[in-house]
Chain A
Amino acid sequence: MTAFPDVPASSVATLSVLRSALNVALRGKPEVIERVLACLLARGHVLLEDRPGLGKTTLAKALAAAVGGVFSRVQCTPDLLPGDITGFSVFNQKTREFEFQPGPVFADVLLADEINRTTPRTQSALLEAMAERQVTVDNVRHKLHDGFFVIATQNPIDHHGTYPLPEAQLDRFAMKLSIGYPDKQNERDMLSAAVGKPDGRDELPRQAVMPAVLVGLQEQVAAVAVASAVQDYLIDLATAVRNHPKVPHGLSPRGLLTWQRVAQAWAFLAGRPFVTPDDVKLVAQPVLCVRFGPNVPTDVIPSVLSTVPVPVYPR
């Protein structure tokens, strides 16, 4: 048999360190951590949607600390302007020239907290940055960091003074995650850990991976093999979603590309150099629900996954 290289051991070790750091920061949610890591490795952006106080910001900050590099945070408010995110040009009296002052988007990890509280105009400022990893200010294009990664959070229950994200914006996210309440044991551990800390702040994890290493991991993920049968399966699923009577907007080709990339990342995290239909199915829920919006019933995705035949044997 011809040997095929498995996932390198160094990559596995790096991922293990990163996984451990995040699991310490957010206790009892390994599945959420795994999906966030898949999103990170797939060079996608993640939208965390959950009730207040469940650890969205904690997870974002911990991830930013673990992957290192520049971390920025934007607290989105209704009076936030696009320039407040992308940066703006200021006239320098000394040099008699306009100088570009980079905004928080020029970072490796950007935390956009409560993103649905800012106006659509400001939300749209992130479109170019998330999709093309660049911003254009005063007709000048500014390239963002290679590992640019957006973690946005939003509160699903308090709708007063909020602006739901438009479809175009949602399509830029790779997945939407909910964290949920921790179980009893993890809450007890959390309470115990808070004893003796006067400011009540969590300790951020130490940097677990260098930005260059992260980029290397992302390149390895992109090289994970996807068989034509699996690609056919992906297309079948996308077609089924598009034809589903309860789904108003089908999956875009960009969404399909993102789905494949996330499935690659999931296979990589499992230590497998190729994608299986299991990978596709396991990441379907977070990838699809960010694109479906709130009006699509929750049973749509399971029903699609259970009816589209899984390819095993060559036709």
Chain B
Amino acid sequence: MGRDLPARVITVVLMAVAYVTCEVAAHADGRPGAFGLAFGGLLLTAAVMLAVFVRRPVHPKQRLPWKWTLCLGLGFILPLACEPFVRQLLGEGFPLELQVVNALRTLGLLLAGLAAWPRLRRLSAVVSLFLALFASAMGDQPAIPYLLMAFAVCGGLWLILDHRAGTGEPVAVRGEVVKRVKLRLPYREALVFAVLAMAAVAVVIAGPKRVMLTLGELVPTSGGTGDTDPFARYGVGNGPEEVAGDNAKTAGMVESDKVIEDNKDALVDVVSDLYGPPHKPRKELERLVAGGLAEVIQNHGKLPDNRKPSRDFDTSRKGPGDSRKPTSSSAARGRYEVEGRTPLHIRMITYIRYLAEERRWEQGRKPGSRLLEHTGGEWMEVRGMQPGNWYADDDHHRLKVADATDNVVPTPPNLARVRIQRVDKAEYYDWEYEGVLSLSGRKKTPPGVVVNTDCHTLDPGVLPAESFPTVGFNPAYVDVPESLTIDLTRIADKWAGHLPRGWSQVHAVLAKLRAEYSLDRQARAPEHHSHPVLWFLEESHRGPDYLFASAATLLLRSLGYPARFCLGYYAHPDKYDPATQHTPVSDDDLHLWPEVLLRDGQWLVVEPTPGYEVLPALKPWTERLADTLAFLGEWASRNAVWLSAAAALLGLTVVFRRRLADAIVTQTWRLFPGRTWRVQALRAMKLLERRAVLAGQRRQAGETLTEWVGRLPNSDAALSQLRSLAEWAAYAPSSPASDPPAVAVCQQAVRCWPYRRFRGGSA
């Protein structure tokens, strides 16, 4: 092992610290990705094994064996090449510069593993230093300073141990000389650099805009556009559209000038615009569904009690008009941007009791028992009853507020924890309804706020019968108006009465509605009809989603299931934008649905409306891997012809790589044989040497041409003649007096000594 073993180990440690620092910095929430850590762990293990078991080179300047060179090259290239598949597998990706950093991390760990070579050891330290600096400049996570401190300590140790390892090395290698370097100006390099620089300037000045955007994408975290790489981060905190929030990738500021109350965007107008106004608005309830009391007060002053708006939902509406006004004054393309799996239901208002006479749903009340606790980092965890054991893995979403109508914090159902940057105290939040979070004391959720959430996911099919409570809940959740009880009970019994209690009954109701009723947003109950829900169930068999939701809620209540009626937004999978990897949610996505209470206090979203789905349970990684493989297989089958051609071409290139290289160098020699006899002789000799290299007969560094030619099997006169001519060309002041023309000698030797002859074959 030698005295450099401590230096090797500290090199690996140094690189590991830099790796973790980058991993932390790359994730905005400060929680390293499991995939990244697992991959890093594997690499680290490999690096440790290499560092311990790879033999020290005979001397420090010994060339790295080709297999290690290949490993280093693959270590850099593979992370870049695998990025598309990782994106497909995990649904997450990195911008280009982070991909390069990832590749550098892999390369650095491999370099650390090969720290037995002093030059690689020092190169690894340089790479780790770069990564640490990059992470420190990029990340502001709380863990970063501690990791940098650890890096500094390891770096100091590395300097000591590397110096100690270096003191044992001979200053000059045995038998090796320090080559004399001719000091000359780098004309050639300067010329190449100048040409490249001018080309770059020309492209920037005269090239198409897309080229400039692509160049800007190289440093996305400093202001990339996101146009060419959907994973590129738009300038954090400094983008021109940061505040406007119409780009799904913008993030950052909570406080901004755009926090302007705008009564035109109130939820009441949105709902009325989408579903039409109520048939008979009561005078005292001009707004049946409002965006909040505060806006009205701000715009109209304090209202008398009889003019206070209500958030109740009227189920007797005139239907949407023909001339719908623009839904938003903002430049944003939607109210929210959702990053993560869809479909997703985002609650705004929940309703508890159906008032049959007034044909409206009465809004729910503020809950008193649900807690939100700060659990470390910036995450707030939802506390309450113990979650049931029927949940699959938690799913992560990022919801960006673009143009909110009120102070609701958009969250998915079954919320487990939430994070809004540094808004990390319980008193900053309020529960508007059960399962509906809002910002305490605010009138609107400011644009630009990014809500990170983890929510429970489940497959309702696995729910046991006892997961639906029969007692211990607010009786209003099973309340059915007396005027509707008989009819609804009859229908519910007809549809699901024969089934055992549990999900099968719920599913039967939902399936019936989805199968035999059709969605029609224009449909409206006749003004004289006293019960729109019954009109929908028994007469029209078609209607808008609020009738589906109302009918389902009341039917489930008739069967004894605690249920409620919800208004919110539906993040539709069809609206997914692959360019930004976000799903915009606009006013057109306003939706109503029923929810069923579970024993653990969570509300299960169910979907009776055709065309709407519920977020499925998060699949384990094995299933996702299988899906990815299936995707790859499908992709491969779609491009089978091209793939086969490419594979065949690649295979042929690999198999005949030496012959290919020989053909290239031979053709190059034929094109440029040289003008003078001296150049001709040397180029022909060099061509033969290259052929010999391809055939494994390389002339060694300390070997003369005569020794090399003498060593070759079946060396003949043609080769000896060329060797003699090359020696004259290389060392003599003039040409030989009596030899044949140089061109003839060269051509004869090149013809007599093809590549295969160097491999032992015949000419």
Contact = CB atoms under 8 A, between A and B. Distances in A.
Interface stretch (A19-27, A69-77, A239-247, A288-296): A239-247
Contacts of A309: 701-702
Given A4-B737, A310-B704, A273 B175 contact: no
Contacts of B171: 243
A5 B733 contact: no
Contacts of A6: 737
A308 interface: yes
B302 to A, nearest CB: 91
Interface string B159-178: 00000000000111011111
A6 B734 CA distance: 11
Contacts of A229: 730-731
Interface in B629-678: 677
A300 B175 CA distance: 8
Contacts of B702: 305-310
Contact of B733 (A236, A274, A281, A315): A274
Contact of B730 (A227, A235, A273): A227
Nearest to A315: B182
Contacts of A307: 174-176, 701-702
Interface size class on chain A is: 35 or more
Contacts of B177: 236-237, 239-240, 243, 308
B736 interface: yes
A230 B731 contact: yes
Contacts of B175: 240, 244, 300, 303-304, 306-308
Contacts of A310: 701-705
A264 to B, nearest CB: 12
A127 B568 CA distance: 109
Contacts of A276: 704, 706, 727, 730-731
Contacts of B741: 1
Interface in B656-714: 677, 682, 685-686, 700-707
A107 interface: no
Contacts of B682: 312-314
A315 B177 CA distance: 17
A229 B742 CA distance: 21
B179 to A, nearest CB: 7
Nearest to B689: A312
Nearest to B701: A309
Interface string A244-277: 1110000000000000000000000000011111
B180 interface: yes
A296 to B, nearest CB: 13
A212 interface: no
B733 A225 contact: yes
B726 interface: yes
Contacts of B737: 3-6
B705 A4 contact: no
A273 B732 contact: yes
A4 B735 contact: yes
A187 interface: no
18 contacts: A2-B735, A4-B732, A4-B735, A4-B737, A225-B731, A227-B731, A236-B179, A239-B177, A239-B178, A243-B172, A274-B728, A300-B175, A305-B702, A306-B703, A307-B701, A308-B702, A314-B682, A314-B730
Interface of B: 170-172, 174-180, 182, 677, 682, 685-686, 700-707, 726-728, 730-737, 741-742
Which 8 residue pairs of A and B lie closest in terms of their CB atoms, listed nearest first?
A: A1-B735, A4-B734, A243-B172, A307-B175, A306-B702, A3-B737, A274-B732, A227-B731
